[in-house]
A and B are shown apart, each in its own frame.
Chain A
Amino acid sequence: MLARSPHAALRRLFDDVGTVDAVGIEERVAKYGTRSIKKASKLWGLKLAASMVDLTTLEGKDTPGKVASLCQKALCPHDPELGVPQVAAVCVYPAMVKHARKALGSATAVRIASVATAFPSGQAPLKTRLAEVKAAVADGADEIDMVINRGAFLSGEFGVMQDEIRAVVEACGQATLKVILEVSELETYDNIRAASFLAMRVIREGDFIKTSTGKTSLNATLGNNQVMIEAIRDYYLDTGVSIAMKPAGGIRTAKQALTFLLAIKETLGDAWLNNARYRFGASALLNDLIRQIAKENTGAYQAPYYFSEATESY
């Protein structure tokens, strides 16, 4: 009886994948903040970060019009002379996928990501969630952001959680999958590492694990990011399968984004410094990146009204 309890299941999983020392991980990530990135290296980092943005709008009040202007910003974030690259993707609700496809056209490098599987809670029957994934893919989504069954994880039913992910992988077909762990609901670093491994073992090379929905109080932090990229590294060195990573929510400033990229540079190395392996799920971040790129080019900060500042009106 005891051996089948959720506690025992978690314990066995921790023995399997290893644990995380919270004090140690926070000490590690604090060191990224003391790095000093200047001039050409800063500009390179800012542009890289811009190319990794999943420009996101996930609101009840989203309309085809707002999605269309979001797509325009994704294609051309600012005056082309500034050299800000196109973002990696736009991220919208399934109902907006066809409008995004219409706005972007089919011959574009900007991908369409859609949050499916009853985002953000995931509390709908599996059949419904899979149908949602299929509909989004049929409408033209290139990438699906799913949420894991946190209830199943916390009650130790890892098989249920993994089977659901497997089913979504199948429903995705050619589309890339991003598995959202919703780290704030997993609470501990140990759980985040364990859930990362459970997800990585059932997804495909090039699929993502992602921190959060952006709909809860705590989203991507450097600590959560570090736990997950260390899991990706350990899994890669063990199996040769490279999994991609997407921190989402809470990354608003260029400086933050550079710090996250430093974590990648020093943990996963150069092979992950591109938008096939690393993304930022964010809406306000792009504006600050543009502002900083302009500052690096001109040597001075420009007034906010020179940029399409508000995330409400792209």
Chain B
Amino acid sequence: MPTLTAKKTSTRPARPAPELIFGDLWEFDPSPETADPKLKTRYELFINGQFVAPKSGKYFDSINPANEQKLAEIAQASAADVDAAYQAAKAAYDNVWGKLPGRERAKYLFRIARLLQDRAREFAVAETLDGGKPIKESRDFDVPMAAAHFFYHAGWADKLDYVAPGRRVASLGVVGQVIPWNFPLLMLAWKLAPALAMGNTVVLKPAETTSITCLKLAEILQDAGLPPGVVNFVTGAGDVGAAVLNHPIPAKIAFTGSTEVGKIIMRSLAGTDKKMTLELGGKAANIVFDDAPLNQAVEGIVNGIFFNQGHVCCAGSRLLVHEPVAEQVLTKLKNRIKVLRVGDPLDKNTDIGAINSKEQLRKITAMVASGVKEGAEMFQSTCRLPTKGFYFRPTLFSGVSMSHRIAREEIFGPVLSILTFRTVDEAIEKANNTAYGLSAGVWTDKGSRILKMSAELKAGVVWANTYNKFDPASPFGGYKESGFGREGGRQGLLDYCKLI
């Protein structure tokens, strides 16, 4: 591809540099998704198969980040509620779920998956209202993928004799789980499905800003006839999370969230015999070589960083691009992000929705300011933003070096840092020069280079000529400060059992 730019310079006619016009010649009319999310005005805790009021009697508001309006009140759990949830989970494990054969557990999981599919549109709208992600993502990714995880693990539940060849497996008991706000329903499915398939019972805390789809799933668990206490949901902020993680009952703790909190959890669990899996932050390198199909690479870069407003732990937030094509890739990227539509998450044509919370918007804004201050060159699309709600323009930083904060710290927003490299070894070195190691992307036409890169990149997932592809059968997890343990696939199941 480099010759394309090199050889034409002499014949270029003397006229202004060609520009593409992405204006409003053909504007789209609003196209909101109209399914009813069937929200309640108040959501209680889900303990022992029942919705129960919190002992404190306190509730907090869940707001819609797209317009800052209140959606519902969510129960504020206390340590006493968490304890009640664990007692229920323990009783359910000892008396019912732990004794149930795998083929019986499978039936419940299949039922949950089907009920979720039946109510897919309703859940998609609720997810979008609560979290701010565009409806096309919650409709085409989050909800179907969550159902797929229940289906996949339902299939395993009666085949656990084969999950660890030559060994037998047994359930752990009660597990405590805490999940983040970026994929509320999907992370819930990632955590619940393997735990239940293996025969464990669960106490789970959703993120404070995104509890609604979790509590809506509780309705499905009731409809599926899941025995009381097998799954319990407690809602609230960090103190509730700490109570879930530090309770004496759980045999295992699973956490997805920030590396900062992950470290606190590890410290608090040191010296206990609890099993632990942590899925934490990332600063993934998306590496583009000069022989890559550049137009598709640009698509992958955009998908890698702007999917879900960049609120993705495996987001390809560092673009490493081969020097000969750096200029070209940057031009293509700029033209591509000009057509991304930022706005009302419920509109079916929205590509980038609302930032999840005011707090997160503040963090992103601060990181972007630091990028400008440290001397990187910023490009933002000029699209109109809604006046209310939390929005951030898709942002590119070029001329970034490894010492910049925007190249080292997780931003968790629609902000891409672009660095260049000259050789394969330099690409690998730069990609691995990070505290994280969750994922990476490689774009090249050369198959052998893909194999070399995937062996040498210290990342749990390496995507080749694509990005952000997920499947319930494919294990997901990190290296270094991105955590440990795997979710999905056979490996994910092994993290929810003991081998005997």
The complex places the Cα of A45 from the Cα of B300 at a distance, in Å, of 28
Smallest beta-carbon distance B301→chain A, Å: 11
Is B331's CB within 8 Å of the partner chain A? yes
Which chain A residue shows the least CB distance to B25?
A: A270
User: Is A240 within 8 A of B4, CB to CB?
Assistant: no
User: Is B296 within 8 A of A36, CB to CB?
Assistant: no
User: Is A24 within 8 A of B293, CB to CB?
Assistant: yes
Is B499's CB within 8 Å of the partner chain A? no
A-chain residues with CB within 8 Å of residue B28 when the two chains form the complex: 35-38, 41
User: Is B293 within 8 A of A270, CB to CB?
Assistant: no
Is B21's CB within 8 Å of the partner chain A? yes
The complex places the Cα of A240 from the Cα of B23 at a distance, in Å, of 19
Smallest beta-carbon distance A50→chain B, Å: 14
Which chain A residue shows the least CB distance to B5?
A: A238
Interface residues on A, range: 35 or more
User: Is A27 within 8 A of B299, CB to CB?
Assistant: yes
Is B339's CB within 8 Å of the partner chain A? yes
Provide the B283-300 mask, 1 if CB < 8 A to any CB of A, else 0: 000000001011111011
User: Is B296 within 8 A of A38, CB to CB?
Assistant: no
Smallest beta-carbon distance B207→chain A, Å: 27
User: Is A25 within 8 A of B296, CB to CB?
Assistant: yes
Provide the A1-30 mask, 1 if CB < 8 A to any CB of B, else 0: 000000000000001111111011101100
CB contact under 8 A between A41 and B18, given known A16-B4, A18-B294? no
The dominant DSSP class at the B interface is loop
The complex places the Cα of A306 from the Cα of B23 at a distance, in Å, of 37
CB contact under 8 A between A41 and B27, given known A16-B4, A34-B348, A266-B339? yes
**B residues 284-327 in Cβ contact with A at 8 Å:** 291, 293-297, 299-300
Is A40's CB within 8 Å of the partner chain B? yes
User: Is A41 within 8 A of B20, CB to CB?
Assistant: no
B-chain residues with CB within 8 Å of residue A36 when the two chains form the complex: 28, 31, 348-349
**A residues 33-87 in Cβ contact with B at 8 Å:** 34-42, 44-45, 48
User: Is B3 within 8 A of A15, CB to CB?
Assistant: yes
The complex places the Cα of A27 from the Cα of B466 at a distance, in Å, of 10
Is B140's CB within 8 Å of the partner chain A? yes
User: Is A270 within 8 A of B21, CB to CB?
Assistant: yes
The dominant DSSP class at the A interface is helix
User: Is A23 within 8 A of B31, CB to CB?
Assistant: no
Is A268's CB within 8 Å of the partner chain B? yes
Is A170's CB within 8 Å of the partner chain B? no
Is A269's CB within 8 Å of the partner chain B? yes
Interface stretch (choices B7-15, B69-77, B373-381, B490-498): B7-15
Is B1's CB within 8 Å of the partner chain A? yes
Q: Which of B4, B28, B291 has the most CB of A within 10 A?
A: B28
B-chain residues with CB within 8 Å of residue A42 when the two chains form the complex: 29
**B residues 460-476 in Cβ contact with A at 8 Å:** 465-466
The complex places the Cα of A39 from the Cα of B27 at a distance, in Å, of 11
Is B136's CB within 8 Å of the partner chain A? yes
Smallest beta-carbon distance B13→chain A, Å: 6
A-chain residues with CB within 8 Å of residue B13 when the two chains form the complex: 239-240
Is A126's CB within 8 Å of the partner chain B? no
Please give the residue numbers on chain B whose beta carbons come within 8 Å of chain A beta carbons, in ascending order: 1, 3-5, 8, 11-13, 15, 17-18, 20-23, 25-31, 136, 140, 291, 293-297, 299-300, 331, 335, 339, 348-349, 445, 465-466
Please give the residue numbers on chain A whose beta carbons come within 8 Å of chain B beta carbons, in ascending order: 15-21, 23-25, 27-28, 34-42, 44-45, 48, 230, 233-234, 236-240, 261, 265-266, 268-271, 273
15 contacting pairs across A/B (C-beta < 8 A): A15-B291, A18-B294, A18-B295, A24-B296, A24-B466, A27-B466, A34-B136, A36-B31, A234-B295, A265-B339, A266-B339, A269-B20, A270-B23, A270-B25, A271-B20
